[in-house]
Structure 1
């Protein structure tokens, strides 16, 4: 094996560091190139993955993929070496990326620290600076009556500064793997029943519709399974306005980490929300470390008289820490994107 001189390694390190730093803001908010994807051949590519593959590695300028209406039967992955990608569909009702896949429960639940695990997700995004608008991601594995039910993510998000506007995520168990980095979801539709928003992301969900699809009336589902692992861990899920509706009965969350953190603020809860609301799962006896809170929520499911006693009551100053600007946007990155909210 040829040994690379130390000076060369140092130069490579400087170059990579410079590239990462430059990619963090994609050199501003200008789109330098647009690629059209169309199933009927009216664009440069007929599949989304082929269009992504055409983008050079270490891309550091915004490239938009405009995806025309249609159902694209494929799995899509954005490499960690391809930041600054903007996927624009024609609307979540008419642009869908759909396929079927699953992973074993033991694979995902026993290896949460392994960021490159195979989640079976239909859409996987690794790099920072990714924008997605107007697309539905659907994992059809559990939606086709497949038995037994398996974890089957529609999407897995690992990259910092990722934005999803007016998108859809459909599956049954483990729908949205919100795993790593700061993420902003707005006006999205998220459908599932078991741990269907899960992971260790630091994420803000604004005006999102959460739809529980109970299959077995005798069981109780879980909207979230957040995996915060230490007191210093910045991760957590904040839901601002929006709604939790559907059929059957669901808990708002269960702990997938000893410091799990989920906050609902001003959210409408239909009667499907269970009276107890929350579940410590494998962390019974450690409930004081969990941060589960409901603030100014409304609807028949917002009655907290029978909630678990260890649910947190946040002060105004604590609540301010979880505003959009304070929680995920202290450096103002949301204002430096090629979109307007």
Structure 2
């Protein structure tokens, strides 16, 4: 039994690494076997390409955000059940008083959906979701009620006395796959830089994991507010605010009902 669990965990690690560092689709080959392939029209009648993409993405969001979900579905959940953690500024009202502490409590290799409910309040902290802690949902009490903020810039000095750069200036950094955020604000408190200023990139959120979704969220900052770094990401009913190049996108992202303010 222990050997089977070890093999399952090793297999999952491989899957997560592949998913997190490539944008290719990993799937089985059943549909490619001779005599079994049936052509399917990818764009049904009366459906535009954009509408179809959104429907498929929302179907994925619903599936991946379900507490019953895991990489091996129901059978795997019998061994590794999903659960919810609560974060509250009041130590007696939740399991943790900071978002990072809640994330640090997860296994180094997270195998199932974990919902971290962040109650109303302003959380002044720098947060990072590590690469192997996949399947995390951050659920706020409302974008105007739950705020996570920090104030680093690209020229902020790190532990070795060197500027941390744009990549590490993020208030909230997502490095894992299958991340979801709902109803929360990500904010970089750095003020708008003066014209010609150098090294003032100040990221509110950086996403470096594949298959992430943000619904009902706000992203507030000045320069490079949203750093959409690596992977495929979906934004719906969101608000993004900045002054200079406030969206830095390098790969594929899909936005629906998103408001921009400069």
What does 1:138-149 correspond to in 2, within 5 Å?
138-142=187-191, 148=197
Give the C-alpha shift of residue 20 in structure 1.
3.7
Higher RCO (C-alpha under 8 Å, 6+ residues apart): 2
Aligned equivalent of 1:57, options 83, 103, 108: 108
Aligned equivalent of 1:102, options 142, 153, 162: 153
Give the C-alpha shift of residue 15 in structure 1.
5.7
Give the C-alpha shift of residue 144 in structure 1.
9.5
CA distance in 1, matches of 2:226, 2:166: 15
CA distance in 2, matches of 1:90, 1:45: 16
State the SS of the aligned residue for 1:93.
coil
Aligned to 1:21: 15
Aligned equivalent of 1:75, options 121, 126, 138: 126
1:204-225: per-residue Cα shift (whole Å, max 9, x none)?
Answer: 011001111xxxxxxxxxxxxx
Q: Does the aligned pair in 1 maintain the 2:224–2:245 contact within 8 Å?
A: yes
Q: Which runs of 5 or more structure 1 residues have no equivalent in the other structure?
A: 1-11, 106-115, 213-341
Structure with bigger strand share is 1
Please report the TM-score for the alignment, with normalisation by the length of structure 1: 0.51
Aligned to 1:285: none
CA distance in 1, matches of 2:238, 2:244: 18
RMSD: 3.0
Change (3 A) 1:122 1:48: same
CA distance in 1, matches of 2:14, 2:147: 31
Q: Does the aligned pair in 2 maintain the 1:22–1:60 contact within 8 Å?
A: no
Please report the TM-score for the alignment, with normalisation by the length of structure 2: 0.66
Give the C-alpha shift of residue 17 in structure 1.
4.1
Aligned to 2:203: 153
Give the C-alpha shift of residue 193 in structure 1.
1.8
| 4+ long deviations beyond 2 Å | 12-31, 116-119
Structure with bigger helix share is 2
State the SS of the aligned residue for 2:168.
coil
Aligned to 1:185: 235
State the SS of the aligned residue for 2:101.
helix
Aligned equivalent of 1:127, options 172, 176, 191: 176
| Residue 36 (structure 1) aligned with residue 30 (structure 2) | no
Number of aligned pairs?
A: 191
State the SS of the aligned residue for 2:110.
coil
What does 1:164-179 correspond to in 2, within 5 Å?
164-179=214-229
